[in-house]
Amino acid sequence: MSIRLVTYPGEVCELFNVKFIKLHDSKAKDKIWIHMQNESGTKPKLLIHTRQLTNRITAELIPNISEIVGEFMKTNSIEL
């Protein structure tokens, strides 16, 4: 049995019907790939692709994810 540790280009986009927007901080140890879908007439969708949280992560990963989610919510007028 082999375990795949790499996501191939386009795979996340195809699986979740989203578009790659940007890499959050290319210099960070824990990368965060941001994908979105924001088509007219549909609810906006945010997909964050990063390290599995049960692995060793940096202290900055969770605050960075929180920042991304907060910005997405403001941009799309989403309230909790």
pLDDT tens-place string over residues 50-70: 878 888 889 999 999 999 999
Nearest to 34 by CA among 49, 13, 45, 44: 49
Q: For the beta carbon of residue 5, count every other beta carbon within 10 angstroms.
A: 5
The reported pLDDT for the residue numbered 67 is 95
pTM of the model as a whole: 0.79
Give yes or no for a contact between 72 and 55, defined as CB atoms under 8 angstroms apart: no
* Whether residue 3 has pLDDT greater than 90: no
Nearest to 45 by CA among 24, 3, 75, 65: 75
Write the pLDDT tens digit of every residue in 9-41: 688 888 888 999 999 988 888 899 999 997 777
What's at 61, amino acid-wise? Answer: L
Query: Higher confidence at residue 7 or residue 28?
Result: 28
Q: Is the backbone of residue 8 left (phi > 0), alpha (psi -120 to 50) or beta? A: beta
